[in-house]
Amino acid sequence: MDIQIDSHTLLRANERGTNETEIKDVINSGFIINSKYGRLGKAKIYEFRQNRLNKYYEQKRVEVFYIIEKNKIITVTVYVFYGKWEVEI
């Protein structure tokens, strides 16, 4: 299925520390998360091991929210959280 990344999503991705490649990866291979307003959501945890805003983080969790219209995935927004998570099963 085609993925259309909305300009709002790309703007937020840049501000929050992710990119188009990770957004597509989350949609294709992330795990399903709860979402609201009839949207779908997926998340994926990445090794980060870097500083962000002068603080060191082991991992980042990228969450992508999207809709499906006419056989196309259209992103709504993306969130990025920094920290350390247990492995998702």
Strand order in the sheet with 72-83: 2-4, 72-83, 55-69, 40-52, 31-33
Domain count, the chain: 1
Interval 4-54: pLDDT, tens: 999 999 999 999 999 999 999 999 999 999 999 999 999 999 999 999 999
**13 located within any domain:** yes
**89 located within any domain:** no
Half-sphere exposure of 23 (CA within 13 A, CB side): 28
Total residues belonging to the chain? 89
pTM (two decimals): 0.92
For residue 22, the SS3 value is helix
For residue 29, the SS3 value is helix
Report the distance separating Cα 16 and Cα 18, nearest Å: 6
Give the model's pLDDT for residue 82: 97
Give the model's pLDDT for residue 17: 96
**88 located within any domain:** no
- Domain extent, residue 6, equals 2-83
